[in-house]
């Protein structure tokens, strides 16, 4: 996925903030909202297959969406940004 300038600036700001505010390795909590489709949830799970992740899903009241919380310990801010970019390629995902 090609990042636009605004998205690139956001990830650069996030990485800088994580570098300044956090000692690495560190636990990090990702939160996503996805359409309630098993394939989308499976795609997100697969992105975190390479690390030990605690993944919790919860369906919305009407069942149209699922919230996905991923708690994981990562080694650097670059890893956090890399995971956000990978997840952003899953169609319909909103990162919180």
The tokens of 26 are what? 């560190």
Mean pLDDT of the chain: 93
CATH number for the domain harbouring residue 59: 3.30.70.260
Kind and range of the H or E element at 70? strand 65-74
Percent of the chain with pLDDT over 90: 91
Q: How many Å apart are CA 60 and CA 58, to the nearest integer?
A: 7
d(CA 33, CA 94): 5
Q: If you average pLDDT over residues 48-59, what whole number do you get? A: 95
Question: Does the pLDDT of residue 2 top 70, yes or no?
Answer: no
Q: Which domain holds residue 43?
A: 5-95
**What is the per-residue pLDDT for 1?**
47
pTM reported for the whole predicted model: 0.89
Q: Count of CB atoms within 10 A of residue 37's CB? A: 13
80-96 pLDDT per residue, tens: 999 999 999 999 999 98
Q: What is the pLDDT of residue 33?
A: 96
Q: CA-to-CA distance for 40 and 53, rounded, in angstroms?
A: 17
pLDDT of residue 4: 79
Q: Does 28 have pLDDT greater than 60?
A: yes
Compute the distance between CA of residue 83 and CA of residue 30 in angstroms, rounded to an integer. 9
Distance CA 23, CA 50 (A): 21
Do 52 and 73 touch, CB atoms closer than 8 A? yes
What's the domain count of the chain? 1
């Amino acid at each position: 996925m090609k990042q636009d300038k605004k998205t690139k600036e956001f990830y650069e700001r996030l990485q800088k903030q994580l570098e300044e505010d956090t000692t690495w390795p560190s636990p990090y909590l990702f939160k996503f909202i996805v359409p309630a489709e098993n394939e989308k949830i499976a795609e997100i799970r697969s992105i975190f297959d390479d690390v030990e992740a605690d993944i919790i899903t919860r369906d919305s009241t009407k069942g149209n969406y699922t919230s996905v919380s991923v708690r994981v310990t990562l080694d650097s801010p670059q890893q956090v940004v890399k995971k956000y970019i990978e997840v952003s390629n899953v169609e319909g995902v909103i990162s919180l």
